[in-house]
């Protein structure tokens, strides 16, 4: 970081700074090795409300129940993202609004999601109910990020087991997955 600051102070090195920042951001949106985003992917069918069924927990979602994500295609081709969950400890709903853009082909389920510009994170749909778009499995930029989403707050045990087994086979730490509670929000 100190090197970047020193370089930023010199006008002649500003293009280098831009390149270094672009490379750093790209590292946050890449697809984990061995994971292949789904293709074909139809964002118009994917848009709408999804419920988080299971996830690898992270600080930005820790303690949240009733988590959902709503996606809407915008006129410019980007996708608006609204993530929402109930914080039982503080007895309130939390919401984060962002924007997603395809990392390449619009028919491949690989996007970069930004909640705080200029920082973006990878969103890679690698399993999907291609017939009805009822469930999806998403990876982040590394195997430390995994979400199982569905159009309803639950999936059958057999379906969950199959998706978890597939993720485990791909190297995700599935023993750390949590089942997201979608019962009526109650304060702690």
The H or E element spanning position 72 is: strand 64-73
Of 11 and 71, which is predicted with more confidence? 71
Angle between helices 2-9 and 14-27 (to 10 degrees): 150
User: pLDDT tier at 117 (50, 70, 90 boundaries)?
Assistant: confident
Task: Examine the pLDDT at 16 and tell me if it is beyond 60.
Answer: no
Contacts of 97 (CB under 8 A, 6+ apart): 80, 81, 82, 115
Of 29 and 63, which is predicted with more confidence? 63
Superfamily of domain 31-179: Calycin beta-barrel core domain (2.40.128.20)
Strands 48-56 and 146-150, bridge-based pairing? antiparallel
Domain ranges of the chain: 1-30, 31-179
Q: Which of 55-64, 128-137, 151-160 comes out lowest in average pLDDT?
A: 55-64
Token match 């970069």: residue?
Answer: 112
Residue 44 and residue 107 in contact, taking contact as beta carbons nearer than 8 Å: no
Cβ neighbours around 33 below 10 Å, total: 8
pLDDT, mean of residues 109-129: 93
Residue 18's pLDDT is what? 39
User: pLDDT tier at 142 (50, 70, 90 boundaries)?
Assistant: very high
Task: Examine the pLDDT at 26 and tell me if it is beyond 70.
Answer: no
Token match 């914080």: residue?
Answer: 87
């Amino acid at each position: 970081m100190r090197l970047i600051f020193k370089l930023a102070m010199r006008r002649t090195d500003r293009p280098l700074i831009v390149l270094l920042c672009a490379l750093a951001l790209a590292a946050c949106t890449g697809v984990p090795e061995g994971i292949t985003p789904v293709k074909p992917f139809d964002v118009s069918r994917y848009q709408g409300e999804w419920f988080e069924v299971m996830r690898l927990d992270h600080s930005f979602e820790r303690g949240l129940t009733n988590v959902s994500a709503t996606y809407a295609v915008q006129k410019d081709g980007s996708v608006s993202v609204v993530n929402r969950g109930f914080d039982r400890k503080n007895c309130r709903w939390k919401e984060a609004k962002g924007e997603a853009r395809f990392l390449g082909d619009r028919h491949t389920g690989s996007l970069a999601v930004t909640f705080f510009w200029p920082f973006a994170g990878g969103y890679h749909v690698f399993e999907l109910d291609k017939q009805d778009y009822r469930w999806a499995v998403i990876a982040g930029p590394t195997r430390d990020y995994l979400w199982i989403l569905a159009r309803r707050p639950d999936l059958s045990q057999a379906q969950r087991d199959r998706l978890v087994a597939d993720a485990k086979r791909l190297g995700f730490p599935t023993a750390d997955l949590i089942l997201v509670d979608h019962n009526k929000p109650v304060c702690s």
